[in-house]
Amino acid sequence: MSTGRGVIARVEAALDRRAERFTFRHPYLTMVIMFIAVPLLMLAAVSALTLLAALPAAMLFGLL
């Protein structure tokens, strides 16, 4: 169990280093990603999951 945590911690640290290096190299792109791309992707994911949940119910009740 502790080896799994160690592996996850090492992977997390490596990803953190890579993200920080990317942020320092591309500050404007990072701002665009943080304030435009991520919120749009979250909205798309929520919309898709809502559609997947509502579509079968609408078909079941004969609304489509």
Tens of pLDDT, residue by residue over 3-59, are 888 999 999 999 999 999 999 999 999 999 999 999 999 999 999 999 999 999 999
The pLDDT value recorded for residue 37 is: 97
The pLDDT value recorded for residue 20 is: 97
**All structural domains of the chain with their residue ranges:** 2-60
Say if CB 23 and CB 30 are below 8 A apart. yes
pTM: 0.69
Say how far apart CA 64 and CA 62 lie, in whole Å: 5
